[in-house]
């Protein structure tokens, strides 16, 4: 009993603390809300004053412009400017009081009407510069402690030729004084430095800050009684010249602050009284029995299979709740057992099982689904995004008769091959989909591994035939060549002046060198063990072999850009030589009918790869065939005289990928093709 009373006291104290906290939060929120509203109101009033001042100056400018535009279209006014007739111009301008004292300059800076004012000289470069495409404009300037509005108007004749510039100045104080119900002070840069007519230190400091931040308007609050709106007026060079200070008196602010405090104290007092009575009733009538029920529910949630009946009997609604909950809990136990069995099945199979809504959002899925798509339980999943299949296609699969769909998805550098089985489930108006994802990647890789093995066998048989043929040719040529070299040497000694014998001897030596090169290449390619290889040597060997092709020798221009700092790669010599030879042969064939026949071969380092790049100026490969050129039995030369069997590039790609390298290709029709081969560096 004591424990229950102690618990009740704790609940009551917690309740009181919660109520007090809420009241305090309410008080400060109310205080902040009223303060915020007051500041917003002040900001709006000051901004309205600023907009009214800005609008008044704009209207002043447009009224002057309107009056001036009317006289500028008159022929006698244009003629007077061209003739530099000051008296006529003065009479025309004097007819409208707003145009009096307007200064007229010719386009060559010469004043022809009005009084000279040295302040204009300060801005003459900008005023007479019409390259900025601004026909009419106004700006502000100071002259001592006085500020002026200066308006510039360009005067053009009937052919739109510039013949003059009009300058009109107005004292800013005279303009602002006509604005009613706004308390405005005007200061200039000279005023700020004055010892008599000067703002206080608060305004000076903040004006400097506003100018340094390139602001044109800012609102400041000095204290609870006074706020300012500061309007910066710039000259034609965007330099501050004058400052309009809008004075806003905050006399009502103290009244509102005191009213809020009084109102908040009354709310606090009433809230505490009401909370006391509610707390006593809440703790006695509701919290104690609810707490007991809550404890029992907590025990059930921790171990739903072991429910214990309530020892205390409750009447009324609480009694009905406990009876219904006991029945519900028994049903939950049976349902839980069934669900655990299904969960054990779905959690331990390798097929991803999922349930999604009509927007393709995954509602629930098993661990295998997360494993296949490399996601975690915290992510919000969408099947369309994960599988990279459009929503329309997914709905089409779900509503089709077959339901199965084969596709592939790339995760970083890995590619997975998947089978989607999707079915639609209509529950009233709601449409949901359930299905499974099967990962077929291992089976696809097995098939590809078998295909790679077949490629290796094809390559080995082809290389073996070439090697045997090469050995036979070299064997048949070596003995006659040695005889020719020997006898030609004897003939040279007997007939030293005979040039034909000398040429015969040199040709025999050259052929002998070619034979030795073939023997050396055959010897290197017969080495089946990986070795450290300099790709520059392989490139030079293959180019030397290409010299036996008369088309290559006589028509193709070769550009070699081989890096001297190339690293070694560890590979089988015959593999790299076969790759380079295949690319070179394809390049030579591609340039048979090209106007420009240019072959460029580069070697360089790129990150962790030794790179060989071979470019030709041949016929190029169409975009449709770029994805097919590495397939077995695909060849673009099948209809040509030099038709192939579609094995060369397939072998090349298989060899490079086997050594953890890669091959890239880019091509443009009738411009050429570039193959880039990447081999891992040592």
Cβ proximity of 198 and 192 under 8 Å: yes
Nearest to 308 by CA among 316, 298, 318: 298
Concatenate the DSSP letters of all residues of 216-281 into one string: SEEEEE-SSSEEEEEEEEE-TTS-EEEEEEEEEE-HHHHHHHHHHHHHHHHHHHHHHHHHHHHHHH
Distance CA 43, CA 34 (A): 14
Q: What is the pLDDT of residue 678?
A: 95
Beta-strand ranges (E) seen in 373-488 are 404-411, 414-427, 430-439
Q: What is the pLDDT of residue 640?
A: 47
Burial class of residue 315 in the structure, from the number of CB atoms within 10 Å of its CB (0-12 exposed, 13-18 middle, 19+ buried): exposed
Q: Give the DSSP H or E segment for 532.
A: strand 531-533
Handedness of CA 188, 190, 192, 198 (dihedral sign): negative
How are beta strands 240-249 and 184-188 bridged, if at all?
antiparallel
Distance CA 633, CA 309 (A): 78
Distance CA 592, CA 549 (A): 12
Cβ proximity of 603 and 566 under 8 Å: yes
Cβ proximity of 151 and 67 under 8 Å: no
Q: Which long-range contacts (CB under 8 A, 24 or more apart) does 32-39 make?
A: 34/256, 34/260, 35/257, 38/253, 38/256
CATH of range 440-526; options 1.10.3470, 3.40.50, 2.60.40, 1.10.287: 1.10.287
Maximum distance among all Cα pairs of the chain, rounded to whole angstroms: 139
User: What φ, ψ does residue 351 adopt, rounded to 5°?
Assistant: -95, 130
How are beta strands 352-357 and 430-439 bridged, if at all?
antiparallel
CB neighbourhood size of 669 (10 A): 11
Q: Tokens standing for 392?
A: 């329309």
Query: Three-class SS string for 607-668?
Result: CCEEEEEEEECCCCCCCCCCCCCCCCCCCCCCCCCCCCCCCHHHHHHHHHHHCCCEEEEEEE
User: What φ, ψ does residue 493 adopt, rounded to 5°?
Assistant: -70, -35
Give the domain 349-439 fold.
Answer: Beta-Lactamase (3.30.450)
User: What φ, ψ does residue 84 adopt, rounded to 5°?
Assistant: 60, 45
Q: Tokens standing for 648?
A: 């060369």
Residue 461, CA distances (Å) to 455, 582, 583 in order: 10, 16, 20
Distance CA 390, CA 352 (A): 20
Distance CA 207, CA 205 (A): 6
Does domain 530-682 fall into CATH 3.30.565.10? Answer: yes
Q: Tokens standing for 624?
A: 């449709």
How are beta strands 146-156 and 352-357 bridged, if at all?
unpaired
Cβ proximity of 96 and 71 under 8 Å: yes
Q: What is the pLDDT of residue 545?
A: 79
Number of helical (H) and strand (E) elements in the chain, helices listed first = 20, 21
Q: What is the pLDDT of residue 600?
A: 94
Q: Tokens standing for 203?
A: 């305004």
**pTM score, whole prediction:** 0.39
Q: Give the DSSP H or E segment for 298.
A: helix 288-302
Pick left, alpha or beta for residue 160 (phi over 0 → left; psi -120 to 50 → alpha; otherwise beta). left
In the chain, what are the domain boundaries? 303-344, 349-439, 440-526, 530-682
Nearest to 232 by CA among 246, 222, 242, 220: 242
Distance CA 196, CA 257 (A): 36
Helix residue ranges, H only, 73-85: 75-83
Q: Give the DSSP H or E segment for 193.
A: helix 189-193
Q: Tokens standing for 509?
A: 């030596």
Nearest to 145 by CA among 203, 206, 186: 186
Residues 6+ apart with CB under 8 A from 488: 501, 504, 505, 508
Nearest to 651 by CA among 462, 466, 446: 462
Cβ proximity of 204 and 192 under 8 Å: yes
Q: What is the pLDDT of residue 643?
A: 47
User: What φ, ψ does residue 482 adopt, rounded to 5°?
Assistant: -60, -40
Concatenate the DSSP letters of all residues of 103-159 into one string: EEEETTS-EEES---HHHHTTHHHHT--TT---EEEEEEEETTEEEEEEEEEEE-TT
Cβ proximity of 150 and 140 under 8 Å: yes
Residues of the chain with pLDDT under 50: 1-5, 7, 638-643, 645
Residue 498, CA distances (Å) to 486, 489, 512 in order: 16, 12, 22
Burial class of residue 543 in the structure, from the number of CB atoms within 10 Å of its CB (0-12 exposed, 13-18 middle, 19+ buried): middle
3-state secondary structure of 314: coil
Distance CA 458, CA 455 (A): 5
């Amino acid at each position: 009993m004591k424990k229950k009373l102690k618990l009740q006291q704790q609940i009551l104290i917690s309740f009181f603390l919660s109520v007090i906290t809420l009241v305090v939060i309410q008080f400060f929120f109310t205080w902040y809300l009223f303060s915020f509203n007051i500041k917003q109101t002040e900001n709006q009033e000051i901004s309205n004053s600023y907009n009214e001042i800005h609008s008044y100056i704009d209207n002043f400018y447009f009224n002057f412009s309107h009056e001036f535009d009317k006289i500028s279209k008159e022929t006698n006014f244009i003629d007077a400017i061209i003739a530099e007739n000051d008296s006529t111009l003065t009479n025309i301008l004097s007819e409208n009081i707003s145009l009096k004292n307007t200064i007229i300059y010719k386009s060559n800076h010469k004043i022809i009407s009005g009084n000279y004012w040295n302040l204009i000289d300060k801005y003459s470069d900008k005023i007479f510069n019409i390259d900025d495409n601004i026909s009419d404009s106004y700006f502000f300037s100071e002259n001592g402690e006085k500020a002026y509005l200066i308006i510039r108007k360009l005067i053009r004749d009937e052919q739109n030729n510039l013949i003059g510039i009009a300058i009109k100045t107005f004292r800013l104080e005279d303009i602002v004084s006509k604005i009613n119900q706004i308390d405005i002070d005007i200061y200039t840069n000279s005023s700020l430095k004055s010892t008599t007519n000067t703002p206080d230190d608060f305004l000076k400091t903040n004006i400097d800050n506003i100018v340094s931040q390139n602001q044109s308007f800012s609102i400041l609050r000095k204290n609870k009684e006074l706020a300012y709106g500061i309007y910066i007026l710039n000259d034609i060079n965007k330099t501050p010249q004058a400052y309009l200070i809008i004075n806003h008196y905050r006399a009502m602010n103290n009244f509102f602050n005191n009213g809020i405090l009084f109102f908040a104290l009354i709310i606090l007092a009433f809230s505490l009284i009401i909370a006391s009575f509610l707390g006593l009733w809440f703790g006695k009538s509701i919290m104690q029995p609810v707490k007991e029920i809550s404890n029992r529910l907590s025990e059930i949630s921790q171990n739903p299979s072991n429910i214990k009946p309530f020892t205390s009997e409750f009447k009324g609604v609480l009694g009905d709740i406990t009876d219904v909950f006991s029945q519900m809990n028994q049903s939950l136990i049976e349902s839980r057992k069934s669900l655990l069995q299904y969960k054990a099945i779905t959690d331990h199979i390798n097929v991803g099982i999922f349930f999604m809504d009509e927007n393709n959002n995954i509602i629930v899925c098993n661990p295998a689904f997360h494993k296949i798509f490399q996601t975690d339980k915290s992510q919000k999943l969408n099947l369309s995004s994960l599988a990279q299949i459009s929503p329309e296609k997914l709905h089409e699969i779900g509503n089709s008769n077959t339901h199965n769909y084969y596709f592939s998805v790339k995760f970083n550098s890995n590619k997975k091959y998947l089978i989607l089985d999707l079915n639609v489930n209509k529950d009233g108006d709601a449409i949901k989909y359930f299905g499974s994802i099967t990962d077929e990647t291992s089976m696809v890789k097995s098939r590809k591994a078998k295909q790679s093995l077949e490629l290796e066998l094809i390559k080995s048989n082809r290389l073996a035939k070439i090697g045997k043929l090469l050995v036979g040719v070299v064997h048949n040529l070596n003995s006659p060549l040695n005889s020719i070299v020997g006898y030609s040497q004897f003939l040279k000694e007997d007939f030293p002046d005979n040039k034909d014998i000398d040429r015969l001897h040199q040709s025999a030596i050259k052929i002998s060198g070619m034979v030795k090169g073939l023997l050396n290449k055959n010897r290197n390619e017969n080495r089946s063990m990986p070795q450290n290889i300099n790709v520059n040597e392989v490139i030079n060997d293959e180019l030397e072999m290409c010299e036996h092709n008369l088309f290559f020798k006589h028509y193709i221009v070769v550009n070699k850009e081989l890096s001297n700092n190339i690293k070694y790669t560890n590979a089988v010599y015959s593999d790299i030589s076969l790759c380079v030879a295949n690319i070179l042969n394809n390049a030579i064939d591609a340039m048979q009918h090209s106007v420009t026949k240019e072959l460029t071969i580069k070697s360089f380092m790129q990150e962790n790869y030794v790179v060989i790049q071979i470019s030709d100026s041949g016929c190029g490969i169409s975009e449709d065939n770029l994805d097919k050129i590495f397939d077995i039995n695909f060849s673009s030369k099948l209809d040509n005289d030099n038709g192939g069997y579609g094995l060369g590039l397939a072998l090349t790609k298989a060899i490079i990928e086997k050594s953890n390298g890669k091959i890239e290709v880019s091509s443009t029709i009738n411009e050429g093709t570039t193959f880039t081969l990447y081999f891992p560096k040592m």
